[in-house]
Amino acid sequence: FIQFYVETIEVEGIRKGTMLVLRDVTKETEMDRLKSELVSTVSHELRTPLSSIYGFTELMLNRKMDLSKQDKYLKTIHSETERLSNLVNDFLDVQRMEARIQSYQKGLLNLQPLLEETTQFYAASTTNHTITFRSLTDACPLIEADEEKMKQLMNNLLNNAVKYSPFGGNIEVVLEADHHHVQFAVRDEGIGIPKSALAKLFDKFYRVDNSDSRKIGGTGLGLAICKEIVEGHDGEITVESVEKQGSTFTVKLPQSVQEYMVVPDGLDVS
């Protein structure tokens, strides 16, 4: 985007000429777009949990409720508060991404137990889906990674797999490794993604514009955060999908150099 305007050149109050100024405002235009997306997403996504928390607390305070329902109301208030807190964290992550101040606390990490744990957690929290973990490697090579960010990445992908499979079905997490990489895939049998949307899927605030996605709700930030995390670990995230059949998100990360720098016997590297 180029903005242009005319400026008068004056020396001691005397007009000496005019100048045509061209300015590249692509960055500012993108920031404006993000800001207005943020305002509309915030107002839309915050309203639902807030009104539900407000409604349930009001009912409890007025003591007009059936006491046997107290636990149910508290559970709703708790889960809606969690949803709000996740939203705020996503917004903060995106702001850090914009300001390029995202930092990673990296250490040697085995992805296998993390993937197993996250899979088990999601398997226990749904009755509609069958969620399984499968490893195609005997011993998962280590990677250099930020454990919290890896958990956030897995959570975002598994959460989407469940969310976008509204009729249930199988969800499979598969771990594999080659000589230099560790790779995991999250495969679902959900609503799938139209071909035309695949290129924009990892953009901030992008959501597939169809009735299924609209009904399900979201901010369009989860996958942008996933991409940022994966690229912050020198990896790659890709997606394959067929509408009405399902999607597979694959994350490929480099092994820690220490993992494959094994010196063969007898080789002098000093």
Q: Which residues bind ligand ADP (CB under 6 A)?
A: 160-161, 164, 188, 190-193, 201, 206-208, 213, 218-224, 247
Nearer to ligand ADP, 141 or 220 (CB): 220
State the Cα–Cα distance between residues 95 and 87, nearest whole angstrom: 12
Q: Which of 167, 178, 168, 163 is nearest to 249 (CA)?
A: 163
Q: Which of 180, 155, 160, 162 is nearest to 252 (CA)?
A: 180
State the Cα–Cα distance between residues 154 and 186, nearest whole angstrom: 9
Residue nearest to ligand ADP (CB): 218
Least Å distance, CB 174 to ligand ADP, is: 15
Q: Where is 65: in which H helix or E strand? A: none
Nearer to ligand ADP, 247 or 255 (CB): 247
Nearer to ligand ADP, 173 or 224 (CB): 224
DSSP 161-209: HHHT-TT-EEEEEEEEE-SSEEEEEEEE-SS---GGGGGGTTSTT----
Rounded CA Rg of the chain:
24
State the Cα–Cα distance between residues 201 and 22, nearest whole angstrom: 33
Least Å distance, CB 13 to ligand ADP, is: 56
Least Å distance, CB 192 to ligand ADP, is: 6
Two tokens, residue 105: 């606390």
Q: Which residues of 181-213 are buried (b: 16+ CB within 10 A; e: fewer)?
A: ebbbbbbbbbbbbeeebeeebbebbbbbeeeeb
Least Å distance, CB 237 to ligand ADP, is: 12
Three-state SS for 228? helix
Least Å distance, CB 222 to ligand ADP, is: 3
Least Å distance, CB 221 to ligand ADP, is: 6
Nearer to ligand ADP, 118 or 213 (CB): 213
Nearer to ligand ADP, 112 or 219 (CB): 219
Nearer to ligand ADP, 177 or 225 (CB): 225
Least Å distance, CB 92 to ligand ADP, is: 15
Nearer to ligand ADP, 70 or 125 (CB): 125
